[in-house]
Amino acid sequence: MPVYMLHGFRWPREGFTGIRVYVVLHNLEEAAAEYLQQPLTTELVTESLKRTQSDLMPRLPELRFVEYYDPADESSTTVSQPFAYVSTKVVTIPDGGTPESAGPGMNIEDVVEQGSGLTDDATEALEALRDRLAPGEHIGWFMVYNGDPDRWYPDSEEDDDDDDDDDDESYVAESEQSEQSATEPGTPATPATPATPATPVSYTVCMPYGILSEVSC
């Protein structure tokens, strides 16, 4: 259950330039707009950004998406987070550990002092991407906890296929029963039992820790 220390900006889910509208406008039907860190969603959104932001993405080869998620929090406010994080540098801090890739004996202040590692050109590209996706958001360091980075996400297409199969089987069973009743006079028809609707799947996420510092690197 790592904590991510990242440099980048928050991308709102709502709004005309937000995640949900982006996913719809660019027909990313298999993307999970509520959890960009889901592997397939990361792939789809990244490939889409390479097309729609072709002047910026080659200058930001290390771009990543990070989500805040606390699986122990089951409150109603955790269904969907208002932001995801778009980052150019991510340092993972495992439980009880020190920042990976930060070097022995280094702490949070040291990582921040090292800076984002971006060139001037990459910094300009990140600022331009922020202005297009999340105008007004701060670029800096954030500390983000994710208790289950590989959080299970339902495959909506498979769920729909399963529901369709159930409906088809129910329809066939009802048809066969009707035909049998029609060929056996005097036998009262047994009313068909309606198919039980599938139970909706829900998942939860939580509010982010927020900005680690106001340092822009």
What span, in angstroms and rounded, lies between the C-alpha atoms of 201 and 138? 34
pLDDT digits (tens, 9 = 90+) for 55-71: 999 999 999 999 998 88
Is 19 inside any structural domain? yes
Determine phi and psi for 192, rounding to 5 degrees: -75, 140
Is 172 inside any structural domain? no
Query: How confident is the prediction for the chain on average, in pLDDT?
Result: 76
Is 96 inside any structural domain? yes
Mean pLDDT of the region 46-52: 97
Is 121 inside any structural domain? yes
Is 188 inside any structural domain? no
pLDDT digits (tens, 9 = 90+) for 74-87: 776 665 789 999 99
pLDDT at 52: 96
Is 175 inside any structural domain? no
Question: What residues make up the domain containing 56?
Answer: 3-153+201-213
Cα distances (angstroms) measured from residue 37 to each of 54, 170, 197? 22, 38, 30
- Kind plus residue range of the DSSP H or E element containing 125: helix 120-133
What span, in angstroms and rounded, lies between the C-alpha atoms of 42 and 65? 7
Number of structural domains in the chain:
1
Is 146 inside any structural domain? yes
Task: Give the confidence band of 43 by pLDDT, cuts at 50, 70, 90.
Answer: very high
pLDDT digits (tens, 9 = 90+) for 92-121: 887 655 555 555 555 777 778 778 889 999
Tell which residue, 192, 213, 194, 49, has the closest CA to residue 130.
Answer: 49
What span, in angstroms and rounded, lies between the C-alpha atoms of 92 and 115? 16
Q: Which is it for strands 64-66 and 3-12: parallel, antiparallel or unpaired?
A: unpaired
Q: What angle do CA 166, 167, 173 make, to 5 degrees?
A: 90
Is 29 inside any structural domain? yes
pLDDT digits (tens, 9 = 90+) for 152-199: 655 545 544 555 555 545 444 554 555 554 445 555 555 555 544 444
pLDDT at 217: 41
Counting every residue written for the chain, the total comes to 217
